[in-house]
Amino acid sequence: MAFTEAPFIIGSTPEEAAQAGKAYEQYYLQQGDTDTANRATKWPEDEINTQPLTLAGFALARYPVTNAQYAHFIAAEGYNPDAPWWSADARVWLARNDDETPGLKSWQRRSTKVTPEFWEDRRVGKVRRNHPVVGITWYEAQAFCAWLTQHLDDDFIYRLPSEAEWEFAARGNMRRPYPWGTEEPNGERANFNAQYTGTSAVGCFPLGTTPEGLLEMAGNVWEWTRSVYQPYPYDPHDGRESTEVIAQKRFTIRGGSWYDRSIPLRAAYRDLFNPVYRIVSLGFRLARHHKV
């Protein structure tokens, strides 16, 4: 889906953020967790922004990348560490011996270095061809984009969307609270709150489609963006789009997932992950830009 150059105000107003904070508070109070409820009221404050920006034209895929699509990357020797689509930081990650590296946390350890982490899992992996690929690090998502750009060799560059591009595609100039509009999430609009106990095939929730025609922008899988997680106001020239010293950064994810409650499905919601994070609810979507 193509979007032309447009002004946009990313994020939430103070009032919208306060409303989201109140929803968090009520949720944790219902769980009997008063301490978290008190802290959660301030969580959405990182969304507050009133400064407009102008986005250049771009296109965003209708669906997240699926297992069937990612299988082409694997078949093309995608995990060859000498291939040009891997960055220097990514090659270090690929080459690391987890058994001989002290101090690694459980989420940093890999069961495989030649496929996504959950590729053999029958609930979400390769046998679910039309489900979003999951267990993808930021490095792997970036490598897929660079490979696809080289493989197709057309007039476009394929990459992860920036945080601003992702939110604009989800909200439009009307700044919808959810990708489909103002109605609260339900089981007909999105896969969330573990109601289907895992990912679902893309395209299963037509009532959750944006007016512009994008699906799965809320729920099913979190989606990587190429943007470093930094405070607003959003400035694409302040280093948040830099690909230097990647391992020391945290990148923004968007959209919520099949596992999450309804609050993270809001189109302004933002979270962050280390670039080597591989979880069963995290995938990615392609953006496309004309080559200059």
246-279: per-residue pLDDT in tens? Answer: 878 999 999 999 999 999 999 999 999 999 999 9
The total number of structural domains in the chain stands at 1
**Residue ranges making up the domain that contains 135:** 61-290
In a domain, 170, yes or no: yes
Tell me if the bond preceding 233 is cis, omega within 30° of 0. Answer: yes
pTM: 0.95
CA 169 – CA 167 distance, rounded (Å) = 5
In a domain, 16, yes or no: no
In a domain, 3, yes or no: no
89-119: per-residue pLDDT in tens? Answer: 999 999 999 999 999 999 899 999 999 999 9
193-236: per-residue pLDDT in tens? Answer: 999 999 999 999 999 999 999 999 999 999 999 999 999 999 99
10 Å CB burial of residue 292 (0-12, 13-18, 19+) is exposed
In a domain, 67, yes or no: yes
In a domain, 232, yes or no: yes
Distance, CA of 249 to chain centre: 16
CATH code at position 81: 3.90.1580.10
